[in-house]
Amino acid sequence: MKTILVTGGAGYIGSHTCAELLATGYGVVVLDNLDNGCEAALRRVEQITHRKPVFVQADVRDKDALDRVFREFSIDATVHFAGLKSVAESVANPALYYDVNLGGSVALCDVMDSHGVRDIVFSSSATVYGVSSDDPIPEHAEKQPAQPYGETKLAVEHHLEELCGENAGWNAVCLRYFNPLGAHPSGLMGEDPRGIPNNLAPYITQVAAGFRDRLMVFGNDYPTRDGTGMRDYIHVVDLARGHAAAIRFLDENPGFMPLNLGTGRPYSVLEVLAAFERAVGEEIPYEIAPRRDGDIAIYFADTTKAEKALGWTADFDMDDMAHHAWHWQSKNPEGYPR
């Protein structure tokens, strides 16, 4: 069976993908600098799958370290998660985002190429579309990222598309995630943000657990079912399964392929909150605040292309996402042991 290099494999989506790859028979080598991931997540991967991923602590921009990994292990393909993901931080410090997200990807591709490994699955993002006028959003929609984070994701996609076009042998799937949510059903792995969470789910579970006072809901006067913004949330295990399917896809489909990973079913903030209240069994306090600049009413994926290409569909619904996220939070109130 093939061996997959998973950069950023000690993070939220990466650890779930390692578990999926190991469970389906792949060998896994993780490269992560632990900037936002932790080794405990990889121990949980082993606990779930009874298989141990190899771990190398290194920065994806470090070409010497990458070179050593490709010399030491017989890598067949890469799943590339390593990067920074805060939209707000990317606005405050765009150079850092270009350095890590774009510079890291270029370094990785250079070293892969020099070792003749030219199959890659890349963690892209729905932010490449920016404020799209399409609902749902297909892959060919106009790309107008509204901030440096989305710009770096689109720049990496362009680099991969160029490699696939001009350099025979390169094959890339760019997975544009919508809104990852939830945790492993075992309660052993989940999202473990440092500091104030950027994403909705860890914020809600931290309010439910009493670590924060209330959820702020930004805007209730959007033209949606209940006035709050609607997004396409996808269970992190469905995302992980999408990566394993993309690795299999690369075996038989040469070239460049961008694909949306979402469910195609948008939920409002209040609907997500209601699902968490069902999971927790209590009301979760919230307060309506003014709209945030740049937020849009509704944003969801056209998943037709991914479903056809990958033979994949999202299995879990919002109640599953909320139950699993709450199970993780209750079993690990302080996150992973550090």
- Determine if 150 is a binding residue for ligand NAD (CB under 6 A): no
- Determine if 34 is a binding residue for ligand NAD (CB under 6 A): yes
Q: How far apart are CA 299 and CA 275, in angstroms?
A: 19
From residue 234, give the alpha-carbon distance in Å to each of 16, 35, 97, 140, 277.
13, 24, 25, 21, 18
Please, what's the b/e burial string for 302-312 (b: 16 or more CB within 10 A of its CB; e: otherwise)?
Answer: bbebbbeebeb
Annotated active-site residue in 26, 97, 129, 149: 149
What is the nearest approach in angstroms of ligand NAD to the Cβ of residue 221?
A: 25
- Interaction with ligand NAD in 115-134: which residues (CB under 6 A)? 123, 125
Q: How far apart are CA 152 and CA 157, in angstroms?
A: 9
Binding mask 249-288 vs ligand NAD (x if CB under 6 A, - otherwise)? ----------------------------------------
Q: How far apart are CA 227 and CA 268, in angstroms?
A: 8
Query: Is 149 known to be catalytic?
Result: yes
What is the nearest approach in angstroms of ligand NAD to the Cβ of residue 85?
A: 4
- Determine if 66 is a binding residue for ligand NAD (CB under 6 A): no
- Determine if 104 is a binding residue for ligand NAD (CB under 6 A): yes
What is the nearest approach in angstroms of ligand NAD to the Cβ of residue 103?
A: 9
What is the nearest approach in angstroms of ligand NAD to the Cβ of residue 78?
A: 12
Of 10 and 273, nearer to ligand NAD (C-beta) is 10
What is the nearest approach in angstroms of ligand NAD to the Cβ of residue 284?
A: 21
- Interaction with ligand NAD in 159-188: which residues (CB under 6 A)? 177, 180
- Determine if 81 is a binding residue for ligand NAD (CB under 6 A): yes
Query: What totals of helices (H) and strands (E) does the chain contain, helices first?
Result: 12, 14
2's CB contacts (< 8 A; 6+ apart) are 26, 27, 76, 77, 247
Q: Are strands 171-177 and 119-125 parallel, antiparallel or unpaired?
A: parallel
Work out which of 12, 233, 316, 326 binds ligand NAD, going by CB under 6 A. 12
- Determine if 59 is a binding residue for ligand NAD (CB under 6 A): yes
Phi/psi-derived region of residue 130, left when phi > 0, alpha when psi is between -120 and 50, beta in every other case: left
Residue pair 222/266 in contact by the 8 Å Cβ criterion: no
50's CB contacts (< 8 A; 6+ apart) are none
# residues contacting ligand NAD (CB under 6 A): 27
Nearest to 84 by CA among 33, 47, 126, 130: 33
The catalytic residues are: 149
Residues that bind ligand NAD (CB under 6 A): 8, 10-14, 32-37, 59-61, 81-85, 100, 104, 123, 125, 177, 180, 199
